[in-house]
Amino acid sequence: MLLLIAGTMSVLFVRNLFVATMLLGIVSFIMALIFISLDAVDVAFTEAAVGAGISTVLYIGTLALVGSQEKDQPKFAAGPLVICLAVGAVLYYATYEMPRFGEANNPVHTHVAPRYINDSPTEIGVPNMVTSVLASYRGYDTFGETTVIFAAGIGVLLILRQRRRRKNEDDETDVPLDEGKTGRSGSLTGLGSQHDLIPHVIAKLLIPFIFVFALYVQFHGDYGPGGGFQAGVIFAAGIILYALVFSLDYARSVVSERAILFLISAGVLLYGGVGVVSMMLGGNFLDYNVLASDPVAGQHLGILLVELGVGITVTAAMLAIFYAFVGRADLIAAKAEQEEN
């Protein structure tokens, strides 16, 4: 815990944004360890994969585009500090009204949670309660969140893939993304150096295991910690590793951008489709009981399909965001080269 505070303080004071990003990754990882000690294994899983993995890649991708040095400025800002301290003081005062940490009869634990804990094993038949609450009891929420991820992925694509119009040249107003080939200086596509043997060998060894692990997490989420969100992120991380070590063109030839656009919507449609099918079979929207002959088997099937939909959307959205950032760097590099000529 104290390590965590030290980490965040250093994130605040470090000038170089690159170092700050690395420290943020470390903070996320420490947080994941704390989550494990607080019994939240699923959350720790996600935090480690997302916070320490994907978000670091995204920040570095941004820094490659915007430069990593923060402008010098006065270290001390009085106004914000006062506001922060005031907010902190109010919250500190409020903690004395909070129920004590870790007691079983706190209000949090007496509302709907006992029902989830006591009834979900018989109603849903899935040992991991987090999965059953996520996909079944709170299926609407999860559907909404998958849609948010879908929207964010589309939003990033819209913002970053928008083709720039150059002011001084009239006819060729568009630079097609496909022109970003390897080997341009400053291009992120050429990031995967062709000559570094060790990363190549190690990546080749690791990537199959990452994919197998992602599939395990995806389909074993009913029984152990895991599920669609985590599996999607791990799967995307595997492909991003491939793109970083080899080159983006190789990764694009494995999973093309068109395929990503297709998958990102296919996941949401699969989730919604399960809901529609259950309505057609006479149940409510996202009521899995009717999907199979007996309710428990129906719940199993429904959760499996829904988690698959979540996993597909998350993978595709993460990849879309990554491709968009890297493709942007290519676009800029291509433009700079054209201006030189």
70 binds other proteins (CB under 8 A): yes
16 pairs with which residues across the strands? Answer: 69
**56 belongs to the binding site for other proteins (CB under 8 A):** no
286 binds other proteins, rule: CB under 8 A: no
Please select the residue that binds other proteins; options are 52, 180, 229, 323, rule is CB under 8 A. Answer: 229
Residue 283 found at the interface with other proteins (CB under 8 A): no
Tell which one of 19, 119, 140, 159 touches other proteins (CB under 8 A). 159
Query: Does residue 201 touch other proteins according to CB under 8 A?
Result: no
Which of 29, 271, 288, 325 is close enough to bind other proteins by CB under 8 A? 325
* CA distances, 119 to each of 126, 129, 163, 257, 271 (Å): 11, 10, 53, 43, 24
- Interaction of residue 71 with other proteins, rule CB under 8 A: yes
98 Cβ contact list (under 8 Å, min separation 6): none
Using CA atoms, how far residue 279 sits from 41, 139, 274, 275, 340, in Å, is: 33, 14, 9, 6, 60
Stretch of residues binding other proteins (CB under 8 A), selected from 145-153, 187-195, 206-214, 272-280: 145-153
Q: Is 175 in the site for other proteins (CB under 8 A)?
A: no
| Ranges within 290-309 binding other proteins (CB under 8 A) | none
Figure out which of the listed residues 19, 92, 173, 186 binds other proteins, where binding follows CB under 8 A.
92
- Residue 11 beta carbon to other proteins: minimum distance, rounded to whole angstroms: 6
CA distance 121 to 296: 10
Provide the minimum distance between the beta carbon of 8 and other proteins in the complex, in angstroms, as a whole number.
5
Cβ atoms 146, 310 nearer than 8 A = yes
Residue 103 corresponds to which tokens in the numbers above? Answer: 């007691």
The string of DSSP codes covering 301-313 is HHHHHHHHHHHHH
Read off the amino acid at residue 328. R
Contacts to other proteins from residues 204-223, by CB under 8 A: 223
43 binds other proteins (CB under 8 A): yes
Can you tell me which of 19, 91, 254, 276 binds other proteins, judged by CB under 8 A?
Answer: 91
- Residue 338: count other Cβ atoms within 10 Å of its Cβ: 13
Task: Say which residue the tokens 């389909």 belong to.
Answer: 219
Q: By CB under 8 A, is residue 9 in contact with other proteins? A: yes
129: contact with other proteins by CB under 8 A: yes
Q: How far is the CB of 183 from other proteins (least distance, A)?
A: 23
Interface with other proteins (CB under 8 A), residue from 164, 193, 209, 250: 164
Tally the C-alpha atoms within 13 A of residue 329's C-alpha that lie toward its C-beta. Answer: 25
Decide: is 231 part of the binding site for other proteins (CB under 8 A): no
CA-nearest of 229, 232, 181, 235 to 210 is 235
Query: Residue 106 CB, nearest distance to other proteins (Å)?
Result: 7
Alpha-carbon dihedral angle through residues 73, 74, 79, 85, given to the nearest 10 degrees: 100
Restricting to residues 239-278, name those near other proteins by CB under 8 A.
none
Q: State the minimum distance, in angstroms, from the CB of residue 269 to other proteins.
A: 18
